[in-house]
């Protein structure tokens, strides 16, 4: 007989094992789905997970796709670790892109080394401003940050719509909803000739290193951890909760804003209505799949990025509907949450002794 017993303490080994288990289960379930749909499961999985990154170009596209996911997820981990549920990274990304894009447009006919740093800084500030709204409302008016941050996503997209359709639209562009192209000085430099991977990846790597340092080597990281376990304890210990809430939201907003900068000054080169294919939401999956650990988040962002690339390849070569990519992302999160059960419970075999 098998009995389910509660663990005395969540297992540390299983904490890092379950994401791997979740990915493994997703692959199996994905193979079964492909089989039911009438595709050869192994061939489909090959086109989904191996073919897209089999060459140098494919691998550079993987890094390009993973960069914003990693950057946003690192920012979100500051919030999630300390019990602040910022669901609006997509809005912070969009607002960061708006502010930095606006600055880039000011310099559209100029060249100069000083332009790019200003544009990047503007994006970070834009994201911080936008993230401060749910933070301030939470600290001073006790509103629910999940609702506020989520709803602000739609507001930011409407602001972007308004700007690219109206005042910021390209004067030579027949009123189509897009701005002018930015000048070369406002674009992030490419790392290799012929590949799209750009200097934005260093922003993501810097965020990884800094977050690791803050989480594990500073007093702030310790405070966040305590608040994450128990808000009451944090209060009892005398931590200044309000300051921390605002701080983690600002960090998170800056990261999302920088991800927006990376998109518009990297591969896109202008503002239009679709700056991000919902990176801000997908990064939530990345943050949890990476266990809110900086290294875990790097790995998770690569795994999730490949579901995007794989979906395209699978449709081109096997006519598998592209929306399967989203099914995979959903399954990863589902299996992760399900296997978290193992964190708190264990199976005990008690059949042998009667």
Partner 1 sequence: MHKFLIRSFVSSLVLLFTLTVAAVAKDVKAAFVYIGPTGDHGWTYQHDVGRKAVEAAGFKTTYVEGVPESADAERVLRQLANSGHDIIFTTSFGYMNPTNKVAKEFPNVKFEHATGYKREHPNVATYAARFYEGRTILGTIAGTMTKSNVIGYVASFPIPEVIRGINSFTLAAQKVNPNIKTKIVWAFTWYDPGKEAEAAKALIDQGADVIAQHTDSTAIVQMAEKAGVYAFGQASDMDKFAPKAVLTSVENNWGPYYVDRVKAVANGTWSQKDTWHGIGDGMVVISGLDSQMPSDLQAKVKKLQADLASGKVHSFTGPIYDQKGNLMVAEGKTADDGMLAGMMTYVKGVEGDIPK
| Site of interaction with partner 1 (CB under 8 A) | 57, 61, 64, 158, 161, 165-167, 174-178, 181, 196, 263, 266-270, 272-277, 308-309, 312-313, 315-317, 319, 321-323
Task: CB nearer to partner 1: give 248 or 285.
Answer: 285
Task: CB nearer to partner 1: give 65 or 291.
Answer: 65
How crowded is residue 107: how many other Cβ atoms within 10 Å of its Cβ? 18
The candidate with the shortest Cα–Cα distance to 280, out of 86, 78, 122, 132, is 86
Q: How far is the CB of 57 from partner 1 (least distance, A)?
A: 8
**Beta bridge mates, 272:** 178
Distance between the two ends of the chain, CA-based, in angstroms?
10
| Euclidean distance between CA atoms 265 and 4, whole angstroms | 53
Task: CB nearer to partner 1: give 8 or 172.
Answer: 172
153, 88 in Cβ contact below 8 A?
A: yes
| Euclidean distance between CA atoms 145 and 89, whole angstroms | 12
Residues, the chain:
354
Task: CB nearer to partner 1: give 243 or 273.
Answer: 273
Q: Is the dihedral of CA 178, 183, 186, 190 positive or negative?
A: positive
Residue written as tokens 């594990």? 216
Q: How far is the CB of 248 from partner 1 (least distance, A)?
A: 28
| Euclidean distance between CA atoms 49 and 314, whole angstroms | 9
Task: CB nearer to partner 1: give 111 or 278.
Answer: 278
Give the single-character DSSP code of 52: G
Q: How far is the CB of 181 from partner 1 (least distance, A)?
A: 8
Task: CB nearer to partner 1: give 10 or 277.
Answer: 277
Q: How far is the CB of 312 from partner 1 (least distance, A)?
A: 5
Task: CB nearer to partner 1: give 41 or 173.
Answer: 173
Give me 95's structure tokens.
């607002």
Q: How far is the CB of 203 from partner 1 (least distance, A)?
A: 16
Q: How far is the CB of 61 from partner 1 (least distance, A)?
A: 6
Q: How far is the CB of 67 from partner 1 (least distance, A)?
A: 10
| Euclidean distance between CA atoms 52 and 50, whole angstroms | 6
């Amino acid at each position: 007989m098998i009995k389910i017993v509660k663990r005395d303490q969540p297992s540390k080994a299983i904490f890092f094992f379950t994401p791997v288990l979740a990915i493994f289960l997703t692959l199996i379930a994905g193979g079964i789905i492909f089989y039911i749909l009438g595709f050869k499961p192994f061939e489909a999985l090959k086109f989904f997970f191996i073919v897209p990154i089999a060459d140098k170009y494919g691998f550079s596209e993987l890094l390009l796709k993973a960069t914003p996911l990693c950057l946003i997820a690192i920012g979100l981990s500051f919030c999630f670790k300390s019990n602040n549920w910022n669901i609006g990274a997509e809005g912070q990304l969009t607002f960061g892109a708006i502010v930095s894009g606006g600055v880039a447009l000011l310099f559209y006919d100029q060249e100069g080394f000083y332009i790019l740093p200003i544009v990047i800084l503007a994006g970070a500030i834009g994201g911080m401003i936008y993230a401060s709204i749910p933070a301030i409302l939470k600290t001073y008016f006790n509103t629910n940050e999940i609702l506020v941050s989520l709803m602000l996503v739609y507001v930011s997209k409407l602001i972007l719509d308004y700007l690219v359709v109206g005042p910021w639209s390209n004067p030579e562009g027949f009123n189509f909803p897009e701005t002018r192209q930015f000048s070369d000085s406002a674009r992030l430099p490419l790392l290799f000739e012929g590949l799209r991977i750009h200097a934005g990846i260093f922003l993501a790597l810097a965020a990884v290193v800094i977050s690791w340092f803050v989480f594990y080597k500073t007093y702030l990281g310790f405070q966040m951890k305590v608040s994450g376990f128990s808000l009451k304890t944090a209060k009892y210990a005398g931590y200044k909760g309000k300051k921390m809430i605002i701080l983690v939201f600002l960090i998170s907003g800056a990261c999302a804003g920088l991800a927006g900068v990376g998109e518009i000054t990297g591969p896109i080169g202008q503002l239009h209505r679709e700056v991000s294919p919902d990176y801000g939401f997908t990064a939530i999956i990345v943050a949890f799949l990476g266990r809110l650990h900086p290294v875990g988040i790097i790995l998770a962002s690569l795994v999730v990025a490949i579901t995007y690339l794989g979906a395209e390849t699978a449709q081109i070569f096997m006519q598998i509907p592209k929306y399967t990519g989203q099914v995979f992302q959903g399954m990863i999160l589902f299996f992760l949450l399900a296997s978290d059960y193992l964190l708190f419970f264990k199976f005990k075999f008690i059949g042998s002794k009667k």
